[in-house]
């Protein structure tokens, strides 16, 4: 499993939690909360990739 | 009245509303019905007046909805506190690995404290290396100190990053590089999107998708067919003009796509083996025949490579696209820039591409750009 997948799974879990938290609004129609990253970034590292620091 | 919790910007795009909150820099996407509920909450003086105005919902449902809207708005007004980094000073050293790059006539010098640090940045810009120029506009130093990566521009400290967060160093370096090459400040940028961008001479198309979705490979395929490569994996947009600026890094191709790339390019790429944080990467020199530095973009394509799939390109809902675009990108938290972002979104048509065949996907993009 690569890191991005892990990251996405966490995101989905968080999303489900959030949807539970806002179940009534979600039932009414489209409802998304989206947060951009707090700074510009390159492509995030692959967790399965090489650790260049070791 | 709960107007103190109102969003700072609201825009309607097709059948959804996109709201922005300055304190948290969060975006909310709502259907018309949910937006009506939120408006009702904001103009109600208490829960009773909210229930009285909520004719379509039972009292019990209205109570739940009221509580959720309140919780949502409070969450969106939670201020995001970003700890300032501890200022460091640049120490003298004679062991710098120095590289000089010529980026569209702007000469920059970057000093790396080690080979490992060099591998984080240099491979993307190796095609711009210039060994003859001695006078440079700006100088960067990147060093590992106190177990953190430290970035200096003209000897002024401009960021500290944990080793594992080297992608944040790359992002900060990219913004500083863009500011130098375009004579701008960070506040002039609407955002930097996790996207690749291709263009013809008139307009650009942004390609988005999760890592591994095939953005970079598709960019290389389209570049080999004569499209310009404006940016790979990091697409910067200027706020006032809402134009995409060329970001001149090489296209990074992961090992899984080497065979495709080798069939398209023969000799203008090099393989860096291992010790790149992402393992084996092949870097393709970008080709951009467009002489202008900035280009308009009003089409964004969500890319999915799917083996043996038929090639389809269809319009897709804004909520599906924003769900990928926003969490993976930096969007300026400055209110004026957030307004420019929303204004830009209104002009965009969103597509979803599924593809497996190179020839078919090239035809799709030729048609899309001619439209």
Share of chain B above pLDDT 70, in %: 96
By the 10 Å C-beta count (0-12 exposed, 13-18 middle, 19+ buried), B251 is classed as buried
Whether residue A19 is predicted with pLDDT greater than 70 in this model: the reply is no
Task: Return the ∠ at Cα B13 (arms to A4 and B24), rounded to 5°.
Answer: 55
ipTM of the complex: 0.91
Nearest CB neighbour to A33, from listed B28, B61, B170: B28
**What is the overall mean pLDDT for chain B?**
92
Which among B278, B208, B115, B18 is positioned nearest to A45, based on CA atoms? B278
Contacts of A6 (CB under 8 A, 6+ apart): A47
Nearest CB neighbour to A35, from listed B82, B175, B327: B327
Question: Could you tell me the pLDDT band of residue A48, with boundaries at 50, 70 and 90?
Answer: low
Contacts of B97 (CB under 8 A, 6+ apart): B111, B112, B113, B114, B115, B118
- For residues B23 and B45, what is the distance between their CA atoms, to the nearest angstrom? 23
Instruction: Return the number of CB contacts < 8 Å for A and B.
Output: 150
Mean pLDDT for B275-290 is 78
- For residues B207 and B49, what is the distance between their CA atoms, to the nearest angstrom? 46
DSSP of B223-267: HHTT-EEEESS-EEEETTT-EEEP--PPEEEEGGGHHHHHHH-SS
Contacts of B69 in chain A (CB under 8 A): 25
What's the pLDDT score for residue A8? 44
What's the pLDDT score for residue B243? 97
The Cα of B101 is separated from the nearest Cα of chain A by a number of Å equal to: 19
What's the pLDDT score for residue B158? 93
CB contact under 8 A, B16 and A30: yes
pLDDT digit string (tens) for B41-57?
A: 999 999 999 999 998 88
What's the pLDDT score for residue B1? 67
Contacts of A44 in chain B (CB under 8 A): 167, 211
What's the pLDDT score for residue B153? 97
Nearest CB neighbour to A32, from listed B28, B175, B278: B28
Question: What are the tokens at B171?
Answer: 């992002």
Annotate B308-318 with b (16+ C-beta within 10 A) or e (fewer). Answer: eeebebeebbb
Mean pLDDT for B1-22 is 93
By the 10 Å C-beta count (0-12 exposed, 13-18 middle, 19+ buried), B282 is classed as buried
Mean pLDDT for B107-133 is 92
Q: Which residues pair with B162 in a beta bridge?
A: B148
Question: What are the tokens at B123?
Answer: 């491979």
User: Chain A residue closest to B116 (CA)?
Assistant: A52
Rg (C-alpha) for chain A, rounded Å, is: 15
pLDDT digit string (tens) for B79-91?
A: 878 777 888 889 8
CB B141 within 8 A of CB B89: no
Contacts of B16 in chain A (CB under 8 A): 30
pTM of the model: 0.91
Whether residue B150 is predicted with pLDDT greater than 60 in this model: the reply is yes
What's the pLDDT score for residue B259? 84
pLDDT digit string (tens) for B199-241?
A: 999 999 999 998 778 899 999 999 999 999 999 999 999 999 9
CB contact under 8 A, B25 and A38: yes
> Chain B contact for A52, CB < 8 A?
yes
Nearest CB neighbour to A40, from listed B27, B172, B211: B172
Share of chain B above pLDDT 90, in %: 77
Nearest CB neighbour to A4, from listed B37, B168, B210: B210
User: Chain B residue closest to A39 (CA)?
Assistant: B330
Whether residue B300 is predicted with pLDDT greater than 90 in this model: the reply is yes
CB contact under 8 A, B82 and A38: yes
Could you give the angle at which helices B115-125 and B166-182 cross, rounded to 10 degrees?
50
What's the pLDDT score for residue B134? 80
E strand intervals along B37-153: 97-103, 106-112, 138-145, 148-153
Q: Is B127 helix (H, G, I), strand (E, B) or coil?
A: helix
CB contact under 8 A, A31 and B275: no
User: Chain B residue closest to A20 (CA)?
Assistant: B68
User: Chain B residue closest to A35 (CA)?
Assistant: B26
CB contact under 8 A, A31 and B61: no
* Mutation for testing the B interface, residue in A34, A44, A49 having most B CBs under 10 Å: A34
Whether residue B174 is predicted with pLDDT greater than 50 in this model: the reply is yes
* Mutation for testing the A interface, residue in B231, B327, B329 having most A CBs under 10 Å: B327
Question: Could you tell me the pLDDT band of residue B296, with boundaries at 50, 70 and 90?
Answer: very high
CB contact under 8 A, B170 and A53: no
Q: Could you give the C-alpha distances from B6 to A4, B22, B331, in angstroms and in order?
A: 34, 10, 20
User: Chain A residue closest to B192 (CA)?
Assistant: A40
What's the pLDDT score for residue B180? 96
- For residues B41 and B66, what is the distance between their CA atoms, to the nearest angstrom? 7
Contacts of A36 in chain B (CB under 8 A): 25, 27, 191, 326-327, 329-331
Q: How many helices (H) and strands (E) does chain B have?
A: 10, 21
Mean pLDDT for B330-348 is 97
Whether residue B302 is predicted with pLDDT greater than 90 in this model: the reply is yes
- For residues B230 and B196, what is the distance between their CA atoms, to the nearest angstrom? 8
Annotate B11-31 with b (16+ C-beta within 10 A) or e (fewer). Answer: bebeebbbbbbbebbbbbbbb
- For residues B169 and B332, what is the distance between their CA atoms, to the nearest angstrom? 17
CB contact under 8 A, A41 and B68: no
Contacts of A23 in chain B (CB under 8 A): 64, 68
The Cα of A51 is separated from the nearest Cα of chain B by a number of Å equal to: 6
């Amino acid at each position: 499993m690569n890191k991005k997948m892990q990251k996405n799974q966490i995101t989905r879990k968080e999303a489900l939690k959030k949807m539970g938290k806002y179940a009534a609004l979600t039932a009414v129609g489209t409802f998304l909360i989206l947060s951009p990253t707090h700074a510009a970034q390159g492509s995030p590292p692959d967790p399965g990739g090489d650790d260049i620091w070791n | 009245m709960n107007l103190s919790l109102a969003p700072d910007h609201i825009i309607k795009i097709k059948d959804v509303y996109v709201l922005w909150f300055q304190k948290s820099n969060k975006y909310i996407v709502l259907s018309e019905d949910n937006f009506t509920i939120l408006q009702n909450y904001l103009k109600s003086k208490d829960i009773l007046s909210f229930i009285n105005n909520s004719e379509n919902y039972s009292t019990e449902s209205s109570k739940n909805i009221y509580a959720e809207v309140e919780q949502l708005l409070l969450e969106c007004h939670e201020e995001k506190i970003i700890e300032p980094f501890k200022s460091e000073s640049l120490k003298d050293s004679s062991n710098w690995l120095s590289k000089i790059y010529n980026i569209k006539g702007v000469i920059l010098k970057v000093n790396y404290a080690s080979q490992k640090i060099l591998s984080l940045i240099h491979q993307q810009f190796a095609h711009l290396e210039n060994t003859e120029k001695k006078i440079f506009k700006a100088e960067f130093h990147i060093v590992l100190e106190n177990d953190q990566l430290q970035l200096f521009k003209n000897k002024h400290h401009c960021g500290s990053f944990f080793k594992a967060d080297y992608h944040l160093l790359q992002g900060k370096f990219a913004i500083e590089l863009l500011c130098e090459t375009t004579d701008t400040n960070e506040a002039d940028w609407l955002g930097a999107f996790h996207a690749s961008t291709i263009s013809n001479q008139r307009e650009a198309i942004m390609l988005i998708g999760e890592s591994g979705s095939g953005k970079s490979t598709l960019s290389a395929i389209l570049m080999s067919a004569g499209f310009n490569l404006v940016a790979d994996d990091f697409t910067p947009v200027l706020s006032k003009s809402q134009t995409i600026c060329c970001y001149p890094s090489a296209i990074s191709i992961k090992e899984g796509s080497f065979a495709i790339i080798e069939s398209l390019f023969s000799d203008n790429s090099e393989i860096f083996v291992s010790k790149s944080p992402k393992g084996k990467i092949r870097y393709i020199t970008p080709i951009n025949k467009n002489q202008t530095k900035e280009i308009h973009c009003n089409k964004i394509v969500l890319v999915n490579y799917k083996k043996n799939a038929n090639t389809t390109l269809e319009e897709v809902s804004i909520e599906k696209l924003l769900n990928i675009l926003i969490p993976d990108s930096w969007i300026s938290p400055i209110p004026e820039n957030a307004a420019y972002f929303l204004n830009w979104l209104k002009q965009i048509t969103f597509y979803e591409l599924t593809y497996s065949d190179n020839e078919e996907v090239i035809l799709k993009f030729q048609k899309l750009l001619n439209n």
